[in-house]
């Protein structure tokens, strides 16, 4: 059976959400952060050398990195392509871009904002870089979303799980007020039955 190693407060709840959307059977192993450092516990290093989450184990495969995990789960558990791109090379390329964009581009400025807040908020060097980057990326996401329900149109795809994580992180950092369409997008996704099931199975 597929196993997901889930670290509380972080990105892996969005992989649990994907598993619930897919209706896949899985075992969940939960870990708690160190309350002082907010870092993952050493037990995660026993699973994967990086000690990060999410990590999945499936039929002898050990896999990390959220985008790669999403692609793998959809390849194995979504043969009908319910969460994949529309047909055509251009649609596949755009889907792949948005699948990897959250972790590859958006996460870093948000993480810098998180560090600045934990250091007291007024960090001119960090914020001087992070603030315009956050604005750049979230304007881009909001423009792409437009009036659609999901990032690539009217139906949810694998790309939405990572994008939703970034929007959720921005909300936690108090950065979402200028983007009402993204706040609505986040609430739509949180209201999905599979997301609620994920929260019941693995409290974020």
Radius of gyration of the chain (CA): 17
Provide the 3-class DSSP secondary structure of residue 37.
coil
Query: Helix, strand or coil for residue 57?
Result: strand
pLDDT tens for 120-174 read 878 999 999 999 999 999 999 999 999 999 999 999 999 999 999 999 999 999 9
Q: Is the full-model pTM beyond 0.85?
A: yes
Quick one: DSSP state of residue 40? P
Section 194-199 average pLDDT: 97
Give the orientation angle of helix 66-77 with respect to helix 12-22, to 10 degrees. 10
pLDDT level of residue 204 (50, 70, 90 thresholds):
low
Domains in the chain, please, with CATH? 2-82+193-201 (3.40.30.10), 89-190 (1.20.1050.10)
State the pLDDT at residue 122: 82
Q: Find the mean pLDDT for residues 17-37.
A: 95
Report residue 105: phi and psi, to 5°.
-125, -40
Q: How far apart are CA 145 and CA 58, in angstroms?
A: 33
């Amino acid at each position: 059976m597929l196993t997901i190693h889930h670290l509380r407060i972080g990105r892996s709840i969005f992989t649990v959400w994907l598993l619930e959307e897919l209706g896949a059977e899985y075992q969940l192993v939960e870990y708690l952060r160190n309350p002082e450092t907010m870092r993952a516990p050493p037990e995660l290093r026993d699973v994967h050398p990086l000690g990060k989450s999410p990590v999945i184990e499936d039929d002898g495969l050990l896999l990390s990195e959220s985008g790669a995990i999403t692609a793998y789960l959809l390849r194995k558990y979504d043969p009908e392509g319910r969460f994949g791109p529309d047909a055509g090379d251009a649609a596949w390329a755009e889907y792949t871009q948005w699948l990897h964009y959250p972790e590859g581009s958006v996460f870093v400025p948000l993480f810098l904002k998180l560090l600045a807040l934990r250091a007291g908020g007024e960090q001119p060097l960090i914020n001087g870089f992070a603030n315009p980057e956050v604005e750049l990326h979230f304007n881009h996401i909001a423009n792409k979303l437009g009036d659609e329900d999901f990032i690539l149109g009217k139906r949810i795809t694998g790309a939405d799980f990572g994008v939703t994580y970034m929007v959720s992180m921005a909300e936690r950092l108090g950065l979402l007020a200028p983007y009402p369409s993204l706040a609505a997008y986040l609430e739509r996704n949180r209201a999905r039955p599979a997301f609620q099931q994920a929260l019941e199975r693995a409290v974020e």
